[in-house]
Each structure stands twice: as C-alpha cells, then as structure tokens.
Chain A
Amino acid sequence: EVQLVQSGAEVREPGESLKISCKGSGYTFANFWIGWVRQMPGKGLEWMGVVYPGDSDTRYSPSFQGQVTISADKSISAAYLQWSSLKSSDTAMYYCAIVGVQDGFDFWGRGTLVTVSS
C-alpha cells in the first residue's frame, strides 16, 4: 500500500527555521517526483516545487524560488520542505504528493499544518 506520511503540526515564531518531512512507503521512492503544495487558510492550492529523490533534482515555482528549499534523502525515503526564516505569511497547510507528468498529483499526504505567530 502506497503511503506518504507527513510530519506533525508545527508552531514557530517569525524568523525561526523549520524543516518538515514526507516519508514514502509501498513504492520505489527514488523513482517518482515528490511535489509540495501550499494551502493558505481559506485559499486554494498552490504548487511550490518538486524533487526527484533518485538524484535530488529540484524544480521550483517562480513564486517560491528562493523562499523555501526542497530536498530528499532516498536512503530513508523522505522528502523535505524547509524555511530558513519563517514569516507569518507562511502559515498554511502543506501537502506532499507523488507527481508525474501524465499521472498528475497521483497520491497525497495528509498535510502538515504550519503556524507562524509571535
């Protein structure tokens, strides 16, 4: 059974760093892109970027380039989304998903809620 297990909810203050994770199982993790999607409170879904765990190749949406870092560690079947300095506007739910050109966002994690507040 394919599973994407995301790390738990986080509360941080502005300026702090954060790294959230998405661990895959039930399939060959290295061979499929993992994408990250943001959903701000009451808003729609936004594609942030993808990582190919096999070689850690990454692509970013222009809207998120330079704002976050996406990475992966195929040895432990994990993908990551990290911030070096959080802003209150980073408060959102973040989803990971298995992504393919033809298959789209094929399988989704349950999301990680990030709250940034002083």
Chain B
Amino acid sequence: QTVVTQEPSLSVSPGGTVTLTCGLTSGSVSTTYYPSWYQQTPGQAPRTLIYNTDSRSSGVPDRFSGSILGNKAALTITGAQAVDESHYYCVLYMGSDIWVFGGGTKVTVL
C-alpha cells in the first residue's frame, strides 16, 4: 500500500522560509494527484490552505504557496509568523475517488 510521506517536524525562524514536502513511498507526486494542504492548530478543525497543487483557498495569506518540487508536492511558507506554528497535512488524490493523508508536519516558529 502506497504511503504519503511528510517530514515529522520542521522549524523556521520568524520571517524565514520553510518548505514542507509531500511524497510517495512508491512513485512521484505530480499535478495529477491534485495535492492539497491543510493547517490544524490544537483543538481546531483543519483549515484548507492550498488545493489543486497551487491554488490558495479563500482568505489564505499569500505567504503560503504550493508547488511541485522534484518528485514531491511542496508547501512553502515565506516570511513565517508565530501564528503559523501548527500542524500541516497534505492529501493526495489516488484516483477512483480515493484520497490519502500524509502523516503531518509539525512546524515550529522559533
């Protein structure tokens, strides 16, 4: 069974840039997987940040951007702020109305 991989944790300095990735244990991620990204703070429902690889959801600051980097999907936070300290999850569409979440990345801003 294919697993969606994410870095367990990353840290970034305030004002810095951090890139989270979303890969596959077997194969490469492309736009045909329609990668999407979600932010979740403790006790809250997830919030949609990016869908369809690089489209920002309504109200999401432009410091969040999505892309394909090499063989993975990527979420980049440019000019990180303290409020960005959170868990981030990617989701890949595997076809046939099947989706798979990555394990999540905890981003620390320090």
Contacts and interface: CB of A to CB of B under 8 A. Distances in A.
Given A59-B98, A104-B51, A105-B36, A45 B1 contact: no
B100 A47 contact: yes
A105 B50 CA distance: 10
Interface residues of A, number: 25
A12 B40 CA distance: 27
A-side binding surface: helix, strand, loop or mixed? strand
B98 A45 contact: no
Interface in A78-118: 95, 97, 99, 101-111
Interface in B88-110: 89, 91, 93, 96-104
A74 B58 CA distance: 27
Contacts of A35: 99
Nearest to A58: B97
A105 B97 contact: no
Interface of A: 33, 35, 37, 44-47, 50, 59, 61-62, 95, 97, 99, 101-111
22 contacts: A33-B97, A44-B101, A44-B102, A45-B38, A45-B40, A50-B97, A50-B99, A59-B97, A59-B98, A61-B100, A62-B1, A95-B45, A95-B46, A101-B34, A102-B51, A102-B52, A104-B93, A106-B48, A106-B51, A107-B48, A108-B47, A111-B45
